[in-house]
Amino acid sequence: MAKKQISDVRRFNRTFSQRIGALQESYQKLGLPLGEARLVYEVGTTGIDVRDLRNRLGLDSGYMSRLLRKLEERKLLATHASAADARVRRIELTAKGKRLFADIDRAGDTVAAGLLAPLRPADRQRLIEAMADVERLTRAAAVRIGPEKASSPAALWCLNEYFAEIAARFDAGFNPAKGLPAPIAEMTPPRGVFLVARLDGRPVGCGALIVETGFIGHIRRMWIASEVRGLGLGRRMLDALEEQAAELQLRTLRLETNRNLAEARALYQDAGYREVPRFSDEPYAHHWFEKALRRRPAP
């Protein structure tokens, strides 16, 4: 990577850190500390479960609890047990809290308008487009891939999206009952792994590795959400699956794909998979691939 590129990116990060610092100061005039304002803003007009809020803001549960008590005392929000699960508490803003939310929201608008105000209309449009580009292109770096339970809500959501997509793209649609099955148990250690790609916590892709007899692994259910496609995530998912395979001491990886998924085929070929004769009964597949893994160096 060119040094010039790195320093360009660093300059951007630096100036934006400053700008965002200035932005945050603008929230301070609302009469409560940043952390509390952020919390009120995240609760929003619709309310939220404490658990979700804690995950989103990444706060310690004790700290969170105390913040909530403080805001409750100020009559900005109210908590009550969730209907679905009596352990989790649901937060809703009071009328006063909603007014504060509106103030915070307005302050955000003002900051944004302040960036646009000095510009001519054409430059405003350019700024917005450039921001969209930066956002899209930096998304890839914010994606984290890791193993999760194949039965987790995120995993099931990904699989659902995956099925919906291939149903739309395969010539004859897709019926999970007819395709080669991939039971959750087989995508669970030690018989396999299920990887989920997340962007800011939200699932945006998945891939499964199923250990077959001997030293052979089977890659299944690889999917990347369209919002993050074209950023090299397919390759990263494949690399992550190979990493898992290496840890499981596998020697060969196999996978199959449908003729309509041209970008997937290109990815597999580019990643060193070579086409082999049919090895599975997957009725929706037209191409079968295989790759010999390099033996792991002893640790």
Partner DNA sequence: GCCATTCTCTGACTTTAGTCAGATAATATT
Partner DNA sequence: AATATTATCTGACTAAAGTCAGAGAATGGC
**Sites of contact with a second copy (CB under 8 A):** 1, 5-13, 15-20, 22-24, 108-109, 111-120, 123-128, 130-135, 137-138, 140-143, 200, 231-233, 236
The entry of a second copy, DNA, none near residue 185 (CB within 5 to 8 angstroms by kind) is none
Q: Which stretch binds DNA (CB under 7 A): 27-35, 214-222, 239-247, 285-293?
A: 27-35
Beta bridge partners of 144: 198
Q: Which residues contact 26 (CB under 8 A, 6 or more apart)?
A: 107, 110, 111
Position among 2, 3, 29, 60 found at the interface with DNA (CB under 7 A): 60
- Give which of DNA, a second copy, none residue 156 binds (C-beta under 5 to 8 Å, depending on kind): none
DSSP string, 192-229: EEEEEEEETTEEEEEEEEEE-STTEEEEEEEEE-GGGT
Which of DNA, a second copy, none binds 276 (CB below 5-8 Å, type-dependent)?
none
* Alpha-carbon span 118 to 105, nearest angstrom: 21
Cβ-proximal residues to 113 (8 Å cutoff; 6+ apart), any chain: none
Residue 190 interacting with DNA (CB under 7 A):
no
Residues 73-92 that bind DNA (CB under 7 A): 79, 85-89
Structure tokens given for 135: 């956002």
Give me the least distance between CB of 51 and a second copy, in Å please: 20
- The length of the chain, given as a count of residues: 299
Amino acid at 15: T
Does residue 56 interact with DNA by CB under 7 A?
A: no
State the residues that interact with DNA by CB under 7 A: 32-36, 49-51, 54, 59-66, 68-69, 79, 85-89
